[in-house]
Structure 1
Amino acid sequence: MGLSKAIGVISGINECVNLFQWARSAISSLHSRWSGSEEQNLQDHVLHLQSGLERLRDTLPAVYDLINGAEWRCHEHCVAELLPKLKDAVYDADDLLDEFRWYEMKLQVEGNASQSPFIDFFDTVFQGSYNKLNDVQERLDRLSSQLEKMGLRQVTQRFDRSVRPETSSLPNETKIFGRDEVMKQVMGLLNVPTISKRKRARSPVNTSTRASPSNQVGNESRISSLAVLPIVGIGGVGKTTLAQHICSHQRVKSHFELIIWICVSDDFDVKRLTKEVIQSCPGKEATTDNLDSLQRALSNHVNNKRFLIVLDDMWDDALKENGQRWKTFCAPFKRVKDGSMILVTTRCPKVTEGVRTMEPVKLEGLKDDVFWNFFKLCVFGSESSNNDPELEHIGRTILPKLKGSPLAAKTLGRMLRMDLQAPHWNVILESELWELRQEETDILPALRLSYMYLPFYLKQCFSFCAVYPKDYKFEKKYLAEIWVAEGFVEHQGDVPVQDIGHQYFEELVTRSFFQKVRDRYVIHDLLHDMAQKVSEDDCFILRNKSDFDKVPKNVRHLYVLPSSDFDNTNLLSLCKYRKLRTLFCKKQLGKKTGSVMDHWCTELQRMRVISCASTNEVPDSIGKLKHLRYLEISRACPFKSIPSTFCGLYNLQIFNAAKCKLEGLPSEFAKLISLQKLVLDGFQYCSGLSFPKEFNAAEGEQGIRLIRLLKNLNQYCGHLVIRNIGMLSKDQAAEAELKNKKCLDELTLDWSCWASRSSHYYQISQHNEIEVLQVLRPPISLKHLSLSLSRCLPLNLEHVLCPDYVPAIKKIRIADCEMLVSVATERFRDLNFLEELENWSIAIPYFLEIVGCGKLSTLDNLLTQEYLPAIKKIEVRACPRLNWQRGFVFPSSLQRLELNDSGDISPCVPSCLQNLTSLVSLKMIECQGLTSIPGDIWRSSLASLEELDIWCCPDLVSIGGAEAVAKIKYVDICDCPNLDEAEEIMNRNR
């Protein structure tokens, strides 16, 4: 639970205003159905319902603050008992609101004309949900009041000392296990001599991170900054114990004149810490509360001593205020004696990066052989296994669960030595670590501190991961989609919500809650146990048949592993968990899968996320899941269609059935107004992504099937590419119904007829090609049109560029249209007329590109002010047969012009450049017949020019001299052998 969830709920309440206005209006319009008193009674009910939701809006922010405070004190029994109940009430409030929002979207989709939303609203929401709303509000009020009486409204978000006791430099254990090498490493980094002071071993510290010695004091030197060495690792791995044994080592005590131990914990108060450092100096007292006086005193106390300061258990509040807290604390150590050091222990990689001056020491779990000896010590009080082979066998089986963690070994060791009998040990062996009752200083409470220090928006994301089994390989993109569907990700302006989910994931990675393994991520087993503990009322994993009796009654998220010892009857029993929001079912359901799915969709109507291995059908009852945002079917399934009721899933964001070969989508599929991603076999649609989505008609039946899927996917936006359109018949092309894709911005039609037609089961005649182009007509909102019609029969642009469907076009690209003979400029005249008639604000087009049209001989007066009044960029390349007409002038709006291997342009230069006052870029490449350009053009018509490229123009002899182009910022002239001015121009330009 987090503040972002509260914001989402409140915004949802505000969105329902239209729904209530519509309900009141609908009651009035249907007044003939009721008497006057009945109508007034209905109007009163609607007002009361709206008032109740507004009250909920005002209540929820305070409730979330209360939950935040309560989580810091959940180790108290009474708080731990009430907190799940309060969270449950908030979940119910969110579910209730989400149902209202669904009706709001239904109204948006179906409009006011239909009475069915109104009738459904009263039948399924109003009559039953009015009392439900009161019940939720009363529960929130009652539980909040009880927690407030415990002082949780003003709770300080700090670690309780009973959970994280204060540490000192004295070791609790006389012996440290398995740390000889790391001890040696750390002492080397601390510059502790290996034998004596005379034969001192220098540490392998990166000298670039240390200041050079200066200000000689006797035989010693001073340094201008203090070296900081972090020891980093997860909670309970032994960082503090390692630091204690280092401080207690005789060589370390001999090397440093002063060793100071400070237990920082989560309160990095500079004044407090400075006082503690002073008071740790022999015979010194902190006699003032003035920070300046304290820091000056500290600077004097440590000035002539080689010291070691250990800052144990630092958290990232040390880096708050843009790192100023840490910098302020370090201020007294600006010029200290050489060899002085700070040793930091932390579980936060962020702290490590923020304070270190050398590479950190990363502490991992103990190795197996050493860990077994330590474990035996924790259990039996010695490294003997008590000579009981059965207990030793059970102990060795338990050991892998602990992942080398010394604190985990102590936790389990305490539990095991309570009863040195095999039955007791087997109970512990068969239990999950998170299920075992633990003391406040055991491993899970210790790890829970890491969780508590997360921001609220990350807590709910991480705790949700407890629903996945251990060692699950997470993909960032996939998990972010699930978090969004669950409502855990807060919108931030125009940033795509999936991107924000990715940011959340990366934050958890930097805090070591996820570890990268190749291209995926895992959660450390002990952190997974901790996640299961903090979410034990919400998340559950079904591993075998016996687990069905352990499911929490108000469980929200379930994961079903593919066990063989339960069947569909067990899966049907899940229907009793009516508050379920998430169901991951990895077990294949067999021939009766449709029945199981039907029961789930009928009974579990609060579901937001469903991921199942397979199903032989998508049942009609799927339409009852008003809250559903994410539906995944991970394996190939036999069904070829989905029911029309599917189109009522107005909240659905992602439908992923990557191995399912649907042959079509329901006619009302466009009603899925929240749909962001659709993945089917060979077909992927992602809303808002700019990469081109390609469909290839040359793939036979598969290609035709995919193009057919476009028919009812009218949400399609971005860039759509259809390749090998020459393989389509007119009727097949018409099935795409491109004209209805009102969100489509860019369309590429690629003829690609080089493919062998004999490989296709349709024999398409040449006269059909133009008909195919005409039925692939894009929507009137299209911004960019790209045509690649190689080896198509001779045609004019008028065959595809029709005035009634491109009024908003900004860019036209005509590439590799080998048989194109005319661009049919009258079409552009018509378009300009239509634009003016309909008062469109965008003139056509902004960008015209004609590339590789080998037979194109004329532009038919196209490149003029009359036809292209708002054109900004023109490229004409690889059209060698063009016959440029004499005397035409490019439009004055033009900003970029490229003429490349485009016929004999000598008649039109310089006259065609006379009007280009807006031109900033001019490229003339392989322009045959171009002989000269008068110098006055650069100073008058082309005064705005910033970039000039002239390449491979063999007949060019003059462009007006170096002085004429001197003001142009970038000039590049090459392979113009007869242009004597080129060298002087290039030298001046450099």
Structure 2
Amino acid sequence: MVLLRARVIIEEAMGRQITNQAMLQQLDILSDTMYRGYYLLDTFRYQSHKEEAKDQFVSHPSLLSKVNSVKGFFFPSGKGTQILEEMLDVFDNLRSMILDANELVLFLPSYTRMYRQPYSMHLLLGNCMFGCQMEAQYVINFLLHSPPPGDEGLEVLPIVGPFRVGKSTLVAHVCKDERVCDYFSKIGFLSDRDFRDEKITTLREGCAVKQRNSVSNKGGRVLIVIELAGDFNEGDWKRLYSASKSCLASGSKIIITSHSDEIKKLATTQALTLKFLPYEAYWYYTRTLAFGSVDPETYPRLAHLVMEIARTNERTFIGANVTACVLRDNFDIHFWCKVAALLRGIVQKNFSRFGEHPNDLLHQSRPTPLGILATPSEDLMIYSHRECSSQEEVPKMKIRDVMFGSIKPHGKFEALAWNSPIPPYHSSVFTCEIQELKATATKRKRSMIDGVRYC
């Protein structure tokens, strides 16, 4: 019941345009605790499916009596007891947080609702910046902040984070906000190549204008977004920044994104650092997308497999969305188990050959062997990947149809890995080839429970 109460508060807040940073911070802490609670409950609930065959179950009525939601479960001593005790601690913390959130709940209706009709949660999560509500509002608050009278300096917000953590997505999401669009007369983007081009004398000169406001009373304010893919060069920055101060109107702002912490020293306000989601939040996201409108409790073994699958994806949004789409189309325990086994095998294969996770190899644009569900004797080799804008044409063939379906192209080909439904609406395209394995891998023994192979 305590998890349900927390979920009601969080889902209501996700659909509202909350501007108070303290409220967002409180919601962020509440969300993380709720995800942890759901994760521990599901771990505890599905532990029995892994232990049934061992026939080593022991009941713990003294602990189970403490929480009604877990009555009747049995688990082996040791790990099960530890999980239950940790779960009870999380539930106690969650109860205290909900009591402390009374004022937050009272203020929620005063904030504008972003969606005019109710969303199924998997549709909402698939069309929003999951887990970044606080970060998005922080950027918006920076952009809408008016400088003191007489201050002619350009305000700069650096956004730092690892590759594919969502820096460009966050900025594009913020730039689509009506409040930001109304505040600036132009929103321009400066690419990594243009930033280093010595022919570009000012930041404004090299920008590709993505948003132009026809209303003329914005004071000529301009927002410039600089996206650095490579290393930061301080000389290029000083040259462009000093030349740009005189040609940009008061109130103009700069956002600069990079994987390098060096850009933090450019900040005129506190820099924003993006991190990957905590594992429990990423698992919750994957589970919600995979089950769609279906209650996970009606398929306990499938829900357990989602835990295994989420671990192999290493908290990437592309991996979560592609895998969830495949699983949602086929609610069959045998199929889900095969998918889990394939993904685990891909990770083990890459660690064995290269000592790295396949996602890391893809990020470095190194050849990466994946796999094909229907033909274990073949590898799907990924040679390179590229991102396409929403205006570019992309392949109709999807990578999931090759990996998990029956499509088998010949020679090198391009396949669509992911088409993002949220700004900047980028598509990821892989260059691939199907290769025959030289030797058949030795089959590993796997535990069998009720005739179902668990991965």
TM-score of the pair, normalised by structure 1: 0.21
- Larger helix share, 1 or 2: 2
Greater gyration radius: 1
Highest relative contact order (Cα 8 Å, sep 6+), 1 or 2? 2
